[in-house]
Amino acid sequence: MKLTAKPVFRDHTGKEIKNEKAYVESWLKGHPNGRIFVGCDSKVRGARVKYSTVICMWDVGKGVQEIYKNEVVKAPSDSYTRLWDEVTRAVNAAYDLRELGRITVHIDINSNPQYRSHQLYDASIGLITSMGFEGAGKPFSWAASCGAHRHCQ
């Protein structure tokens, strides 16, 4: 796994997106009923962790187009810090798009108290909603648990 210098968003072909806000704004002009979802997931490999952040543009009834960015950094010392880093990366990406309308942030944290990650659920949803976004955790967070997950493998 190679360390990423400066993460940039890319499309499905791997082409670099110079300005993700302009890209999403252009997509929304062509899809006026479209919805925007942002998510992040991570994968630990040895002493490094790969974070993948996605912006999913859902044309309701027609499918999802996504752009993503990957970042490889030194792994944090505990899983809770890594999960919180996923949340903040997703919120930061959503914040950059905030002027484009309603955005939902998906987190890879379980809403079911039976799972360990649930300990961060309330704080995560609290951060997301305090920033003016809608939020969703597992099992409803497909942008994080499917979209971003695929890119960090």
pLDDT digits (tens, 9 = 90+) for 15-25: 999 999 999 99
Q: What are phi and psi of 149, to 5 degrees?
A: -55, -40
pLDDT at 2 over 70: no
pLDDT in tens, 125-151: 999 999 999 999 999 999 999 999 999
Looking at residue 60, its pLDDT comes to 87
Q: Based on the structure, what is the number of domains in the chain?
A: 1
Residue 92 lies in a domain: yes
The CA distance from 124 to 103, in Å, is 15
Let me know if residue 1 belongs to a domain: no
- Does residue 139 fall inside a structural domain? yes
**pTM (whole model) above 0.75:** yes
Classify residue 34: in a domain, yes or no: yes
Q: What is the CATH number of the domain that holds 129?
A: 3.30.420
Domain residue limits at 25: 20-152
